[in-house]
A and B are shown apart, each in its own frame.
Chain A
Amino acid sequence: MTTIEVGGVAVERDPEGFLVHPEQWTPEIAEELAHESGIPELTPRHMQVVEFMRERYLTTGTAPSIRTLGKESGVPIKELYQLFPKGPAKLAAKIGGIPKPRGCI
């Protein structure tokens, strides 16, 4: 278990760096996690994906699949991979402070 410190508050994370308690998430934490994941700047397009992931997780209890992300987030698949080259679903979940998506799709 590791922690990330933002604004003097330590937030708990799992061994892969995902937040353990999604309710502790703040936009500042998102910035921090994005930098750490190789995304130098979180644009409004990034945030659109991150917020969509987060909202879906908080309302349904599971993160959406990449297919749903492409169809319903308002950001098409090609752009998702330009925004998050190392894996849109995984990184948007991490930056959004929700657990790592468990699905294969």
Chain B
Amino acid sequence: MTDLIDETIDLEHRLAREPVEKVSIVISKGSLEGIYPGLIMANGARMEGIDADLFFTFFALDALRKDRVDKIKVATVGNPGMHMPTLIGAVPGMSWLATRMMGRQLEKLDIPPIHEFLELIHDSGGHIYGCHATVEMFGLKEEDFIPEVDGILTVGEFYERSAGAQIIFT
């Protein structure tokens, strides 16, 4: 009986330590601070030999748009993490300034700008997808997207691709 219990505990331990083999990361926010964490996690997964899919939905789709990828900004209003009074955050140019400052900080840590980061993840074997519903909502076409995009998926297709993966929503 104790043998059986020991065996069960041992099995539980082994299952608990089962390594992560694949992640599917959903990025749903279109601000700089909404997009970077998912990119860092996807790249970090590839660096560990873990498969990574990125799925961009709603305003995060801006990160895949040729005309917007280089214009993504830090939210200075409605972002308590900025520790900035709302009225000051709303001053014209404040978001631009905060974005520039953060960009410099990221560069210092060798974290690339968003488009270069997507290229890095793509070249690392990570996959980049846009959300079908969002594409329709904004009336976008294939030529609106950066070349690193692997495709546009419905939610169903996203789940199908995510078989066996840990799904992370950001």
Contact = CB atoms under 8 A, between A and B. Distances in A.
B43 A105 contact: yes
A70 B46 CA distance: 14
A70 B43 CA distance: 13
B22 to A, nearest CB: 14
What bracket does the count of chain A residues touching chain B fall in? 10 to 19
Interface string A27-66: 0000000000000000000000000000000000000011
Contacts of A77: 120, 123-124
What bracket does the count of chain B residues touching chain A fall in? 10 to 19
A55 B126 CA distance: 28
B148 to A, nearest CB: 12
B44 interface: yes
A90 B112 contact: no
A90 B111 CA distance: 17
B120 A70 contact: yes
Contacts of A102: none
A105 B49 contact: no
Nearest to B125: A81
A77 B120 CA distance: 7
Contact of B123 (A65, A70, A86, A90): A70
Contact of B47 (A68, A76, A78, A89): A89
Given A66-B120, A70-B120, A87 B49 contact: yes
Contact of B110 (A76, A81, A85, A105): A105
Contacts of B40: 104-105
A42 B157 CA distance: 39
Interface in A76-97: 76-78, 81, 85-90
A-B CB proximity, top 4 nearest: A86-B49, A77-B123, A65-B110, A87-B49
Interface of A: 65-68, 70, 76-78, 81, 85-90, 103-105
Given A66-B120, A105-B110, 20 more contacts: A67-B110, A67-B112, A67-B120, A68-B110, A70-B123, A76-B123, A77-B124, A78-B123, A81-B123, A81-B124, A85-B49, A86-B48, A86-B49, A87-B46, A88-B47, A89-B47, A90-B48, A103-B109, A105-B43, A105-B44
10 contacts: A68-B110, A76-B123, A81-B123, A81-B125, A87-B47, A89-B47, A103-B109, A105-B40, A105-B43, A105-B111
